[in-house]
Structure 1
Amino acid sequence: MPSPLDTDDEAQLVRRARWGQQAAFAELYRRHARAIHALALRLTGNPSTAEDITQECFLKMLQFLGGFRDDTPLRPWLKRVAANAAIDRLRRDRRLVAIEEEEAHPGHGSDPLLHAESLGVLRRLGPVERTVVWLHAMEGWSHPELGRRFGRSESWSKSIVSRTLSRLRHELDQPEPHDDP
């Protein structure tokens, strides 16, 4: 069975899907939907919204199949579409609010992103913080890209990431409360 990132096999599937073969589209969906849904869920924190974004991505893929180059992997494009859709939802829902300036208190210890997802820390972040931090740290978006996409400055993105990571470090460094009297 080919891997989801096998570009030769994927290129054939894209060509067949362009020609209207539903089985090819279904196979592309099967290979990539789970990863796209996982990204959308991480960014939005909402399973229903993540499902909507996943569906939007694949509908856009159908619209743009004719423009895909055969040697270009599909998953990075789908992930970009999902991230943009999550940002659009944030903006449309008017959740994008200015985050007050706070002093950054750099913590010590390990990188909080290494443990954040397993501890559920990302779910405690606001939608803007979660999206900016995840896209920067895990998906490789640059601060200029994030600033432009959110209609803000590069320094806005840097500030969000810095303050959020500082807060995560602080939270992860706190001892767990014990049930002992």
Structure 2
Amino acid sequence: MDAPAHAPDPDAEAEAERLRRARRGDGAAFEALYHDHARAVHALAFRLTGNAAEAEDIVQETFLRMFGFLSGLRENTPLRPWLKRVAANLAIDRLRRQQRPGTEMALAALADPASASPADAADADALLRRLPPLARTVVWLHEMEGWSHEDLGRRFGRTASWSKSLMSRSLARLRQDLAPHGDAPHDA
């Protein structure tokens, strides 16, 4: 029999208590929050940047921001979605800083499929790494993190149409990479 919908979630209660303790300056509580969420934040940051060192920097900056914003976090609101949103925004900021004038089309263009082995085609992470950072970020945030095209367009200083177009080109390229060599992708 399922638990009633109003039953408290022990994990959520434990996290809320750690947040209360961290707000009061309890270093062990902050450390526990870090250990609870750092791996998920790092995984997202790595997927978006494709660079382990940058991902680690983003994790550190995310938790520094959390530490500075502890009093502003609402009670009984899950922490992980907030942390992942901060990490995604930090990754986007890095991408925007790395863009040089005149490279817009190069960033939107998709990577050369000849650079990956056929074995990598089966690995979703390896397949996503074939995309340039901007395309990879938009695909991941939309498909896996649930960001809307409006959110993505706004965050990148663009339109929802820009996000949809980049997403469409990226997914078409990934489908092409998954098709048997020489076969054109087709719908059944």
Do the two structures share a fold, i.e. TM-score over 0.5? yes
Gaps of 5+ in 2: 1-9, 110-121, 183-188
Question: SS at 2:104's partner residue?
Answer: coil
Aligned match of 2:30: 25
Contact 1:129 1:160 in 2 (8 A): yes
Within-5 A mapping of 1:69-148: 69-94=74-99, 97-99=103-105, 117-118=124-125, 120-148=126-154
What is the aligned partner in structure 2 of residue 55 from structure 1? 60
Question: What whole-Å deviation, never above 9, does each CA across 1:49-90 have from its counterpart, x for those lacking one?
Answer: 000000000000001100111210000000000000000000
Equivalent pairs counted in the alignment come to 159
User: Runs of 5+ in structure 1 lacking a partner?
Assistant: 103-114, 177-181
Amino-acid identity (%): 61
Structure 1 residue ranges, 4+ long, deviating more than 4 angstroms after superposition? none
Q: CA deviation at 1:132?
A: 0.4
- Could you tell me which amino acid in structure 2 is paired with residue 15 of structure 1? R
Alpha-carbon distance, 1:116 to partner = 5.3
Give the structure-1-normalised TM-score: 0.83
* Residues 16/43 of structure 1: CA separation in 2 closer, same or farther (3 Å cut): same
Determine which structure has greater relative contact order: mean sequence separation of CA pairs < 8 Å that are 6+ residues apart, divided by chain length.
1
Q: Is the 8 A contact 1:95 1:127 kept in 2?
A: no
Retained in 2: the 8 A contact 1:90–1:127?
yes
TM-score normalised by structure 2 residue count: 0.80
- RMSD in angstroms over aligned alpha carbons? 2.0
User: How far is the alpha carbon of 1:158 from its aligned partner?
Assistant: 0.1
Once residues 93 and 167 of structure 1 are traced to their aligned partners in structure 2, the CA distance between those partners, rounded to angstroms, is 23
Q: Give how far 1:92 is off.
A: 1.0
In structure 2, C-alpha distance between the alignment counterparts of 1:117 and 1:64, rounded to whole Å:
34
The one of 12, 15, 19 equivalent to 2:20 is: 15
TM superposition shift of 1:95: 5.7
Give the counterpart letter for 2:51 in structure 1: N
